[in-house]
Structure 1
Amino acid sequence: MDGVKQLHLGEHYDECDVCSAPIKDLSQAFTTEYGGKVLTFCSEKCFKRYLEDPALYAEFGDDEGLE
């Protein structure tokens, strides 16, 4: 199964909002809130990249925030 990651039932993985790396232990993650959404980062490096341009990493669904 190339390119497919097997997850075991009951496991939940979040991913970094900057680099999309999986975050298994949220207690080790960096988080912040932007536009009412909690963003999660895998490392201080990714958090600092986010701080350089927060709007770049904000995702809006259903055309929210777009005009």
Structure 2
Amino acid sequence: MDGAKQLHLGEHYDECDVCSSPITDLSQAFTTEYGGKVLTFCSEKCFKRYLEDPALYAEFGEDEGLE
């Protein structure tokens, strides 16, 4: 592999930084960078929610999100 993490069935790569849903397919995810941190979103809906107040979601740690 070229440095990418290999997933096995049932594993997830990351969690959505808005709703904390597991992301199993990064090709379907939305990502952006804020304050030097890469944020990942499970859907366009969550990405648009993030765009309404980026600083709010960037404050959360890697294992946190908002419902």
Q: TM-score, normalised by structure 1?
A: 0.70
In the alignment, the residues of structure 2 paired with residue 23 and residue 17 of structure 1 have an alpha-carbon distance, to the nearest angstrom, of: 10
Shift of 1:6: 17
Shift of 1:39: 0.3
Deviating 4+ runs (over 6 angstroms): 1-10, 60-67
State the structure with bigger RCO (CA 8 A, min sep 6), 1 or 2: 2
| Structure 2 portions without partners, runs of 5+ | none
Q: Which has the larger radius of gyration?
A: 1
In the alignment, the residues of structure 1 paired with residue 2 and residue 56 of structure 2 have an alpha-carbon distance, to the nearest angstrom, of: 31
Query: Aligned residue pairs: how many?
Result: 67
The one-character-per-residue Cα deviations of 1:1-52 (angstroms, maximum 9, x if unpaired) are 9999999699443100000000000111000000000000000000000000
Aligned CA distance change for structure 1 residues 66 and 2 (closer, same or farther; 3 Å): closer
- Equivalent residues of 2:14, 2:23 under 8 A apart: yes
| Structure 1 portions without partners, runs of 5+ | none
Aligned CA distance change for structure 1 residues 6 and 54 (closer, same or farther; 3 Å): same
- Aligned-pair identity in percent equals 94
Match of 1:47, SS state, is helix
In the alignment, the residues of structure 2 paired with residue 2 and residue 46 of structure 1 have an alpha-carbon distance, to the nearest angstrom, of: 29
Aligned CA distance change for structure 1 residues 32 and 4 (closer, same or farther; 3 Å): closer
